[in-house]
Every structure is written in C-alpha cells, then in structure tokens.
Amino acid sequence: MLLLKLIQSFFKTLHSEGTPGQVAAGLVLGSILGLTPFLSLHNVVVVGLIVILNVSIPGAMLGWALCIPAGFLLDPLFDAIGRGLLLGAPALRPLWTALYNAPVAPLSGFNNTVVLGSLVSSLALGVPLFFAARWGVTRYRATVAERLKRSALYRAVTASKLYNLYRLFRPEP
C-alpha cells in the first residue's frame, strides 16, 4: 500500500500543474524534512515554507517520503559531519557559542550532531537536488510522460483491483 501510495504520489507530482521549479523546490524542502530529525524547530519553519511558498506540496510530500529512509541510513554520516562542525572546527566555536546563548536558537537543537549534520547536509544537497529535479521533471514531461501514460505498467497499476480498492478507501482530495 505504501509503495502504491508512493507511486501515485510520484506520478501525481510529475503530472501536476506546477512548474518543474515548483516541483523541484517542493522536493528539496521535503527532503529537508526527511533527512533531518522530524521533531525539530527548523522543521516547523520548513513546513511553514512548504505551505506558504508556492511550491509543489505533492513534491514536498514525495521528497519527505523518499528521504526518511535515506535519513536513517545516513545518520552515522550526519553524526560525523555534525561532530566535525561542532567540536572539530575551532573557528566555528564563537558562532555556536553565540547561538547557544541566544534566545530561541537552542530550541532548534542545532547543537546536536545529528541535527546539525543532517540539516547542513540537506541544505548542501538542496541546491544540486533542486537543479537536478527541475531538469528531470522538465525532461520527463517533454519525453516520457505521454509514453508512460500509455505504457502497460502504468495502465496495469492504475487498472489493478488493489489500486481501485485503495482509491475507494483513500479517494483523491
């Protein structure tokens, strides 16, 4: 069911009315949600951005869903990156000290190695991911979309009883 939902979300995103840039921006913001620990203050900001900015919400949902497992897998790497930034970079220590003793900022948990490492990594990945996603969506819509709609797999998935059952209980909004 989750796989079907992902596939549905993926195609809905690709075929949505949003521009490739909006879809890519949604993917990037969603990836931040997925790659970083969810219950963090910065994710409130990210959710707010997803809602208030004119980005693709299905794209954000897709980015979030795809990046959650990636976040779990990459946690050791994030931990190492965060440790290096917080403890292994003396030049950054004044910045962290100032943030740590500033109002609100400590509530973000930036001084946790996994939070900081994953946030920095997702932000760093965000730029190439944005351009790659925008290029991919553009290329997809130009070349693959119509052919895929006519493909046996697409028709098989959308025509399957399981898919219809899923739509019966979870109709599209």
Residue/partner pairs of 150-153 with CB below 8 Å, 24 or more apart: none
Binding to another protein (CB under 8 A) within 117-136 occurs at 117
What are the φ and ψ backbone dihedral angles of 170, each rounded to 5 degrees? -125, 75
Check residue 80 and give left, alpha or beta (phi > 0: left; psi -120 to 50: alpha): alpha
> Does 76 engage in binding with another protein (CB under 8 A)?
yes
Q: Which two tokens stand for residue 140?
A: 């997809």
DSSP conformational letter for 142: I
> Does 52 engage in binding with another protein (CB under 8 A)?
yes
Give the interface segment with another protein, choosing from 1-9, 81-89, 149-157, 165-173 (CB under 8 A): 81-89
Give the interface segment with another protein, choosing from 7-15, 48-56, 144-152, 159-167 (CB under 8 A): 48-56
Q: How far apart are CA 27 and CA 151, in angstroms?
A: 25
CB of 43 to another protein, least distance (A): 12
Q: What is the binding site for another protein (CB under 8 A)?
A: 19, 37, 39, 48, 51-54, 71-72, 75-76, 78-79, 82-83, 86-87, 93, 96-97, 99-104, 106-107, 109, 111-115, 117
